Amino acid sequence: MRISLDWIKDYVELPSGLEVSRLARDLTMSTVEVEGASELRKRFSHIVIGEVLDVLPHPNADKLRICRTDIGGGETKEIVCGGINLTPRMRVAVAKPGAVVRWHGEGEPVEIKNARLRGVESYGMICASSEIGLFDLFPFEEEATIMDLSEFGAPNGTNLADALGLDDVILEIDNKSLTNRPDLWGHYGIARELAALYGLPMKPLPAFAPRDGAAGMNVAIEDPELCARYIGVKIEGVSPKPSPFKAQSRIWRVGMRPINSLVDITNYVMLAVGQPAHAFDSDNIEGHIAVRRARAGERLLLLNGRELSLTESDLVIADDEGPVGLAGVMGGAKDSVLDTTERVILEIANFEPIGLRRSAQRHELRTEASMRNEKGIDPQRADLALGLAMEMFRDEFPDMRVTGFDDNYPRELKRASIRVSLSWMARRMGTRIDDAEVRGMLERLGFGVRMDGDDMNVVVPSWRSTGDVSIPDDIMEEAARLRGYENFEPAAIVTSFEGAVNQRDADADRGIREYLSFRCGMQEVFTYPWVRGEFLSVTSDTTEGLLEISTPPSPNERFIRSSLLPNILKAVAENTRFFGEFAIYESGQVFYDADYSSPYDARESLPRGARSVAGAVVGRQSSASDLFRRAKGIVEWMPRYVHMAPFEFARGEKPVWADGAACLDVRLDHETVGKLALLSKKSALACGIKSSAVTLFELNIDSLKPHASRTNRYTRLPEYPRVEYDISMTFDETSEWEEIERTARGKKHPGGGDLVKSVSFVGVYRGKQVPDGKKSVTMRLVMGSDKKTLTSDEIEAAAGQIVKRLSKTLGGELRS
């Protein structure tokens, strides 16, 4: 919303010497956010009134003229101009060198310089209104029409802003900050706020009292819930002539377009007090005005030419024949003001805001009137609008007659009344403001205050009684904001500690991320909760059990993820364009359209959800097995580093996306808590991943069991030396490491003969020296005794036992 300070001064005399920046800051701190303040005259610097003395032909161009122009201060300049309406004695706007204009009202602003035009020296430029941003105030039809300022009396050389009375500052107010303050829409409301801030009196607005017996007008309100008040005034002896320049200029300054006096009066009133008004031609009204719900199937041709098909949810203004306007949104074509209009009905009405907003939305109409009406305006404001409008009608049409008047006001607004404790207020503010100061501030804002011991009885003014101010906290806010929040010293937070914060789940969640990022070298990513169809179809062959968004970001993104994998795959596919080897993961929530429950509140029913973590280890296709081992290691070691119960791996059901040769279930206490697998070539291709191998894992974080604290126990350091001993043996390809390891470890020997402390995997070799169908496995034994240092014979004997066991059980052969 734009606010003209010049206009504000109609209603309140601002303190002299108050700087605009200060005013903007005060409003921002206490009332509404001022996004900017611009001086209107800056747009017209170096543009002055000039008078054309002679219009001479241009020697080299038919369309150009040379105008000898008096630009004041005794200076006469020759200006080359292509205007089609130039005549001697015409007064014009001259843009002198240094002025900024837009050529023909289009493109970027350019600075005027002295120039030669077709061989003739020209001083500056004579302007068309569009070239200096004044088209809406000085419209023209034919191209190259020069702005004629002959009516304006200012002497030649006067700056254009002064000559046109455009010495003004325009405030830009953030509409969002007005949401809950319908009283502030309009200059009068902002003026009232400034008066309260600076402790100044408001100037009264004119009032209108109809003379007795002005009949001829009778408005029926069918449903007072939808229309609290409707004032109709029938006025004769008017015409749609241009408004006085000052009114036009004000309307233009705050962003609307002057049309004609009849329309301008209603717009002016709306911009002044925030109450929309409407004028329509009464000759085209048949019978009486009624405010009623539309009947299903009724049609309404709007004044903008659109025809609406109405429903019973629409509120209309109707005559005996049918709807003539969509209430509070837009008037109809039938009764719109035309060039021939002589009699009008002025409508100032109060409509129920919610239905009106829905109606406007349904018909995709957003007008200045609907914008204000849907905020909820107090019905008493109609009186201000009426007084101001009638004064303007009388000023512009001294001979006009009021031939009908009806003020149908079935639902008067009750002013809210609130009891507030002063000591409570002091506690909330953290400081006690003097009682008289509180009272004074509230009264300046229009509240009625009666003190009653520690209590105040506060009566809320009508313009704040629309729901905005209704509880003691609102009253406290009024006093605090008027005092200025910056005038409250920051207070300390006082509390008692009952113990340290100990949150196992939150710690585990963070522990997992830090483990994956810092230990495993993976990059955390964020993706969206919705998944794209092409990736979803890779990880799942059904969309059953998935939740759907009713108005999704795109038709292809309507399902909500029940697994993080589709989005991880999308991220992998996109990153393979730039990177060959990388590892990423995401930790987030997933959902299923199943198992609805009420974990927090019996009144709601929420779908099953889980916290999940999924990762991808990506590299060259030739290193798929290494990638799998790396991913397996990441999952395998997670419980140890994050301090959780350990996992087991087992062959399980193959997910549709997995390579059957490299696919494992991750289990915890025999329950499957996750999957680990190589992405199949087919799935990779479907994701657009062409030359990379990808190993994926996903774990359900909610199923993991974080320990209460760090749980591992210390092992005493050995007293006697330990020896590492490597064995390489060939086995059938079908022999698995787990089996080899188990066999190598053997059963514990009775009598403490367990010299082998550990058996660990070193590597697998296949090659020339190893026959087909066989593989060579290297393992490392750590041997030692707790009683003595082993001799080499004892070491060889123990190793020999293991070799023998492996040959006997698994057919292993020692390699030389």
Partner 1 sequence: MNEKLALLRESGRARIAEAASVAELRNVKASLIGKNGALSEIMREIPRLGPALRAETGRQANELKDFFTRLIEARDEELQLSDSAISADFDLTVPGTPPPGGALHPITQMCYDLNDAFKSLGFEIFQEPEITSELYAFDNLNFPPDHPARESMDTYWIAGHDTGRGGDRLCLRPHLTGASVRYMRTHKPPCRFVYPGHVYRNETTDARHERAFFQYEALIVDREMPFAAGKVMVKSVLDKVFGRDVPVRMRVGFFPFVEPGFEIDMECLVCGGTGCGVCKQVGWIEIMPGGTPHPNVLRAAGLDPERYTGFYVNIGLDRLVMMRYGVDDVRLFHSADLRFLSQFK
For residues 437-456, which are near partner 1 according to CB under 8 A?
none
**Of positions 290, 516, 783, 799, contacts partner 1 by CB under 8 A:** 516
- Specify the residue, 486 or 772, whose C-beta has the smaller distance to partner 1: 486
Tell me the window of 27-35, 313-321, 641-649, 742-750 that interacts with partner 1 (CB under 8 A): 27-35
CA 664 to the chain's CA centroid = 44
**Spatial contact of 202 and 11, defined as CB atoms under 8 Å apart:** yes
Whole-angstrom Cα distance, residue 535 to residue 497?
49
Q: Which two tokens stand for residue 680?
A: 């199949």
The DSSP secondary structure of 763-793, one letter per residue, reads EEE-STTS-TTEEEEEEEEEE--SSSPPPHH
Burial classification of residue 806, based on how many CB atoms lie within 10 Å of its CB (0-12 exposed, 13-18 middle, 19 or more buried): buried
**Of positions 237, 322, 609, 652, contacts partner 1 by CB under 8 A:** 609
Closest approach, Cβ 445 to partner 1, in A, equals 13
Please compute, for residue 430, the number of CA atoms within 13 A of its CA located in the half-sphere on the CB side.
Answer: 9
**Of positions 79, 149, 388, 525, contacts partner 1 by CB under 8 A:** 525
Angle of helix 187-198 relative to helix 261-273, nearest 10 degrees? 30
Closest approach, Cβ 697 to partner 1, in A, equals 15
**Of positions 110, 207, 220, 354, contacts partner 1 by CB under 8 A:** 354
Closest approach, Cβ 535 to partner 1, in A, equals 12
Whole-angstrom Cα distance, residue 109 to residue 331?
38
Q: How far is CA 796 from CA 250, 535, 726, in A?
A: 105, 56, 11
Tell me the window of 386-394, 517-525, 648-656, 747-755 that interacts with partner 1 (CB under 8 A): 517-525
Please compute, for residue 2, the number of CA atoms within 13 A of its CA located in the half-sphere on the CB side.
Answer: 17
Closest approach, Cβ 512 to partner 1, in A, equals 11
Alpha helices (H) along 397-434? 422-429
- Specify the residue, 602 or 717, whose C-beta has the smaller distance to partner 1: 602
**Of positions 22, 419, 450, 519, contacts partner 1 by CB under 8 A:** 519
Q: Does 604 bind partner 1 (CB under 8 A)?
A: yes
**Of positions 62, 142, 212, 494, contacts partner 1 by CB under 8 A:** 494
- Specify the residue, 547 or 781, whose C-beta has the smaller distance to partner 1: 547
Tell me the window of 433-441, 446-454, 478-486, 688-696 that interacts with partner 1 (CB under 8 A): 478-486
Residue indicated by tokens 């001064």: 9
DSSP assignment, residue 633? H
**Spatial contact of 38 and 170, defined as CB atoms under 8 Å apart:** yes
Q: Select from 469, 381, 455 the least CA-distant residue to 417.
A: 469
Tell me the window of 201-209, 388-396, 534-542, 602-610 that interacts with partner 1 (CB under 8 A): 602-610
Closest approach, Cβ 188 to partner 1, in A, equals 20
**Of positions 212, 436, 600, 750, contacts partner 1 by CB under 8 A:** 600
- Specify the residue, 503 or 712, whose C-beta has the smaller distance to partner 1: 503
String of contacts with partner 1 for each residue 223-252, x by CB under 8 A = ------------------------------
Whole-angstrom Cα distance, residue 235 to residue 472?
45
Q: Does 574 bind partner 1 (CB under 8 A)?
A: yes
**Spatial contact of 301 and 381, defined as CB atoms under 8 Å apart:** no
Tell me the window of 128-136, 343-351, 426-434, 619-627 that interacts with partner 1 (CB under 8 A): 426-434
Q: Which two tokens stand for residue 531?
A: 């998944």
Q: Residue-wise over 417-436: b if at least 16 C-beta within 10 A, else e?
A: ebebebeebbeebeeebeee
Closest approach, Cβ 427 to partner 1, in A, equals 6
**Of positions 13, 162, 167, 473, contacts partner 1 by CB under 8 A:** 473
- Specify the residue, 477 or 741, whose C-beta has the smaller distance to partner 1: 477
Whole-angstrom Cα distance, residue 741 to residue 271?
87
Q: Three-state SS for 227?
A: strand
**Spatial contact of 785 and 720, defined as CB atoms under 8 Å apart:** yes
Q: Select from 798, 779, 641, 790 the least CA-distant residue to 718.
A: 790
Query: Of 722-781, which residues contact partner 1 (CB under 8 A)?
Result: none
Long-range interactions of 259-268: CB distance < 8 A, separation 24+: 260/337, 261/396, 261/397, 262/238, 262/337, 262/341, 262/344, 263/337, 265/389, 265/392, 265/393, 265/396, 266/346, 266/389, 267/368, 268/243, 268/388, 268/392
**Of positions 514, 669, 702, 719, contacts partner 1 by CB under 8 A:** 514
**Of positions 399, 452, 526, 716, contacts partner 1 by CB under 8 A:** 526
Query: Of 162-181, which residues contact partner 1 (CB under 8 A)?
Result: 177, 179-181
Q: Does 545 bind partner 1 (CB under 8 A)?
A: no
**Of positions 102, 428, 654, 681, contacts partner 1 by CB under 8 A:** 428
Query: Of 176-215, which residues contact partner 1 (CB under 8 A)?
Result: 177, 179-181
Angle of helix 187-198 relative to helix 435-444, nearest 10 degrees? 160
Q: Does 506 bind partner 1 (CB under 8 A)?
A: yes
Closest approach, Cβ 474 to partner 1, in A, equals 7
Largest CA distance in the chain: 131
Q: Does 216 bind partner 1 (CB under 8 A)?
A: no
Whole-angstrom Cα distance, residue 38 to residue 45?
14
Query: Of 32-91, which residues contact partner 1 (CB under 8 A)?
Result: 32-33, 35-36
Closest approach, Cβ 666 to partner 1, in A, equals 21
Q: How many residues does the chain have?
A: 816
Residue indicated by tokens 């349904």: 362
Closest approach, Cβ 703 to partner 1, in A, equals 16
String of contacts with partner 1 for each residue 313-352, x by CB under 8 A = ----------------------------------------
Q: Select from 283, 284, 281, 249 the least CA-distant residue to 267.
A: 249
**Of positions 235, 386, 438, 520, contacts partner 1 by CB under 8 A:** 520
Closest approach, Cβ 608 to partner 1, in A, equals 9
CA 52 to the chain's CA centroid = 53
Tell me the window of 277-285, 518-526, 703-711, 799-807 that interacts with partner 1 (CB under 8 A): 518-526
Closest approach, Cβ 557 to partner 1, in A, equals 10
Q: Does 601 bind partner 1 (CB under 8 A)?
A: yes
**Of positions 16, 340, 503, 792, contacts partner 1 by CB under 8 A:** 503
**Of positions 4, 31, 129, 350, contacts partner 1 by CB under 8 A:** 31
Tell me the window of 200-208, 328-336, 438-446, 527-535 that interacts with partner 1 (CB under 8 A): 527-535
Q: How many residues bind partner 1 (CB under 8 A)?
A: 94
Whole-angstrom Cα distance, residue 461 to residue 281?
35
**Of positions 300, 346, 571, 678, contacts partner 1 by CB under 8 A:** 571
Q: Three-state SS for 700?
A: strand
- Specify the residue, 116 or 603, whose C-beta has the smaller distance to partner 1: 603
Whole-angstrom Cα distance, residue 597 to residue 586?
26
Q: Select from 783, 778, 814, 809 the least CA-distant residue to 798.
A: 783
**Of positions 560, 613, 642, 658, contacts partner 1 by CB under 8 A:** 560
**Of positions 22, 241, 419, 427, contacts partner 1 by CB under 8 A:** 427
**Spatial contact of 186 and 205, defined as CB atoms under 8 Å apart:** no
Closest approach, Cβ 288 to partner 1, in A, equals 31
Q: What's the angle, vertex CA 719, arms to CA 717 and CA 721, rounded to 5?
A: 100
**Of positions 125, 308, 583, 806, contacts partner 1 by CB under 8 A:** 583
